Chain A
Amino acid sequence: EVQLVESGGGLVQPGGSLRLSCAASGFTFRTYDMNWVRQAPGKGLEWLSYINRGSSHIYYADSVKGRFTISRDNAKNSLYLQMNSLRAEDTAVYFCARDRAATAREGGMDVWGQGTTVIVSS
């Protein structure tokens, strides 16, 4: 079964850090580009970051640029999101999602994890 499972969410104080992980199974992870997307409580979807299969092309939303870092370990079939300088407005459910296309512009995220919740609060 094709599956993505996020972990690493939790409660963190403003200014703190957290590292999210996304474990992939059921498909050849190293041949797919990946994304992180979040959803704040009661709000819509917000794309955060994209990394291509070889980690040579990485993009970020302006809202997290300079604070969040996406990375992957193809040997471990895993995607990561290092989140630093966290703010209250970063409180959200964080999803990892597989890109079905060969390039970022083509789009289409066809496999999603169940999400992990991050709460930034003192």
Chain B
Amino acid sequence: QSVLTQPPSASGTPGQRVTISCSGSSSNVGSNPVSWYQQFLGTAPKLLIYSNNQRPSGVPDRFSGSKSGTSASLAISGLQSEDETDYYCAAWDDSLNGRVFGGGTKLTVL
């Protein structure tokens, strides 16, 4: 059972906008920045979003992040087939004194 809750799956058609949610609590998402990672099977994760809504250089602006209260979201606009993979959210947890991940969301492009 992950500390941060993500839907196990999400889907969309090419060109569509999809969002993936990440629900936490006051000790993690509610009080610390959220980051998002993209991971293809058998490879290392890649940082997509940090500090709730900042993109590292090289990440397309189709990817955006937001946060409100104890929930965060990753939005992918102009969905492409190559976006089909796993996505994880993460944040520091002040109660656990450690970093926590969501359980991951498998995105399918229909």
Contact = CB atoms under 8 A, between A and B. Distances in A.
Q: Is the interface of B mostly helix, strand, loop or mixed?
A: strand
Interface residues of B, number: 29
Interface in A54-110: 59-62, 95, 97, 100-101, 104-110
> Interface range on chain A: under 10, 10 to 19, 20 to 34, or 35 or more?
20 to 34
A107 B2 contact: no
A112 B46 contact: yes
A46 B44 contact: no
Contacts of A17: none
Contacts of A61: 96, 98
Interface of A: 35, 37, 44-47, 50, 59-62, 95, 97, 100-101, 104-110, 112-115
18 contacts: A44-B2, A45-B88, A45-B90, A45-B101, A45-B104, A47-B90, A61-B98, A62-B96, A95-B44, A100-B47, A101-B51, A105-B32, A105-B94, A106-B33, A106-B50, A108-B47, A110-B56, A114-B44
